[in-house]
Amino acid sequence: MKILFLSFPWTIDILGTGYLSAVLKKESYTVDITRPDTMWKDLANMKPDILAISTTTGRHVKYLELVRQIKKRYPCIFVVFGGPHPTYFPEIAKEDCVDFIIRGEGEFSFLKLVKSIESGYLSCEKERTIEPLIQNLDTIPFPDRELIYKYPKNYNNPIKNVFTSRSCLFSCSFCYMSIFRELYKGQTVLRYRFIDSVINECIELKEKYPTKFIFFADDEFTVSGERLEEFRDKYKKYVELPFHCQLRIDYLTEEKVMLLKESGCFSVTFAVETGDEVTRWDMLNKKLTNRQIIKGCDILKRYNIPFRIENMIGLPRETIDGALKTLDFNIKLKPTVSWVSLYQPYPGTVLGELCKRSGLFKGDSSKFKEDFFEDTVLPLNKKGEFINLQRLFSLAVDFPILKYIIKLLIKLPPNRLYWWVSKIHKKFLYDHKLYKIK
């Protein structure tokens, strides 16, 4: 039985696919990965039994277009969709080019499906039963790095990603965590790996690949101070690579920052979302005050830890003056990098459903763009100004003098110049300030 994963080119390690591949290879299945630019050649050479795709909302549209073409030439291939989009939009199973979908954590449910296809004992249900959450994450083998580093660009990327936990403690209204908890009602959602397992994976990355920097991709890395102490002692002794992690700024204390610094933490990311405290608290259900944010930033600055702030503009009913308030708050905080997206009203989320009830969006998932930096489906007043502000936001935070002319610059029609300025500026900040990779 041969399984071929299809993915658009990636920069950040696609660890979900890596975990699936590792589980399959442990059972002696033949696994490979392809991209749209080489898929016809790889399909012809491998002749896979199963084509597997993990997709987010928005990108699923292009994957469906590709699969329809593949099915015309290879009608007998089984097409399986998994990842965030099928998890929260199982209606994708109704597409005639989709044979099965996997919802939720897929390591063992996908393995079960592969074995069913191999044996010929298949139910007519396209949507597979959601398996219980994997409570012991260390029963999953390390992700198949040989697969996800198949291409030189990924292999040679000095930044490698690692997860030490899964899920999140919080329920922000724009996020799918509340639906995820409903899918797994009664189960422990936030789970951690053993520190020794994490350390062993990092050692393997250091010894087998050109790894200069590790990005811990957990939603929140610093909840437990006791866990941080164990991590500090072992990471410092056995790994000694600079790393980046993500955290909740209100959970940050001076003691935790000291532990991070002693471990080798070079930089961190946290989310502010908006400069308006009332909007953050009430609309976004992110119980985080401006005072807590300022206090956390001051601690990070005292320990010389660069930090990236994540924001959203284009929130429901937000005016351009409201978005500029978020810009002003970021300028006050003086981050190393200000990251900003255009809000997307994903159906099923609390805020997305509010947008539907308010008539701001009908809920058609095919209308979303591939990422949340390009555009928004909301009918914003002065949408072009929001798009331009998204492009120029980080530059204005880096050079605050620009805020005095930003209102004029964003009134121009959206253009490729702003897009390129944003891209070049962010790359410079990431390569030279946020990540220690030289």
For the segment 357-376, the average pLDDT, to the nearest whole number, is 91
Distance CA(179)–CA(20), nearest Å, equals 23
225 pLDDT exceeds 90? no
**Percent with pLDDT over 70 in the chain:** 99
Give the model's confidence band at 224: pLDDT under 50 very low, under 70 low, under 90 confident, else very high.
confident
Which pair of structure tokens corresponds to residue 276?
């308006």
The confidence score (pLDDT) of residue 423 equals: 95
Beta pairing class for 159-162 and 213-216:
parallel
Mean pLDDT of 145-153: 97
User: Given this structure, which CATH class describes domain 2-119?
Assistant: alpha beta
- The more confident residue out of 365 and 351 is 351
Residue 50 tokens read as: 């199963």
Flag whether pLDDT at 213 surpasses 70.
Answer: yes
- 390-413, pLDDT tens digit by residue? 999 999 999 999 998 999 999 999
Residues 58-74 pLDDT 10s: 999 999 999 999 999 99
- Per residue in 266-317, pLDDT (tens digit) is 999 999 999 999 999 999 999 999 999 999 999 999 999 999 999 999 999 9
> Are 310 and 269 in contact, with CB atoms under 8 Å apart?
yes
Calculate helix-pair angle for 320-333, 383-398, nearest 10 degrees: 10
Domain map of the chain by residue range?
2-119, 137-434
Percentage of the chain lying above the pLDDT 90 cut:
92
Using 50, 70 and 90 to split pLDDT, how confident is the model at 438?
low
Please determine, for residue 231, whether its predicted confidence score (pLDDT) is greater than 80: yes
What pLDDT, on a 0 to 100 scale, did the predictor assign at position 29?
98
Q: What is the pLDDT of residues 91-112, one digit of tens each?
A: 999 999 999 999 999 999 999 9
pLDDT value of position 124: 66
Task: Kindly report the pTM of this predicted structure.
Answer: 0.95
Name the phi and psi angles at 417, rounded to 5: -60, -50
- C-alpha angle with apex 384: 380 to 387, nearest 5 degrees? 90
CATH of segment(s) 137-434: 3.80.30.20
Query: Is the pLDDT assigned to residue 256 strictly greater than 80?
Result: yes
- What average pLDDT is seen over the chain? 95
pLDDT digits (tens, 9 = 90+) for 119-140: 987 776 787 778 999 999 999 9
Question: What residues have CB less than 8 Å from 186, skipping those under 6 apart?
Answer: none
- Tell me the average pLDDT across 252-258: 95
Three-state SS string over the chain comes to: CEEEEECCCCCCCCHHHHHHHHHHHHCCCEEEEECCCCHHHHHHHHCCCEEEEECCCCCHHHHHHHHHHHHHHCCCCEEEEECHHHHHCHHHHHCCCCCEECCCCCHHHHHHHHHHHHHCCCCCCCECCCCCCCCCHHHCCCCCHHHHCCCHHHHCCCEEEECCEECCCCCCCCCCHHHHHHHCCCCCCCEECCHHHHHHHHHHHHHHCCCCEEEECCCCCCCCHHHHHHHHHHHHHHCCCCEEEECCHHHCCHHHHHHHHHHCEEEEEEEEECCCHHHHHHHCCCCCCHHHHHHHHHHHHHCCCCEEEEEEECCCCCCHHHHHHHHHHHHHHCCCEEEEEECCCCCCCHHHHHHHHCCCCCCCHHHCCCCCCCCCCCCCCCHHHHHHHHHHHHHHHHCHHHHHCHHHHCCCCCCHHHHHHHHHHHHHHHHHHHCCCC
Distance between CA atoms of residues 166 and 193, nearest Å: 9
Task: Give me the pLDDT at residue 122, please.
Answer: 75
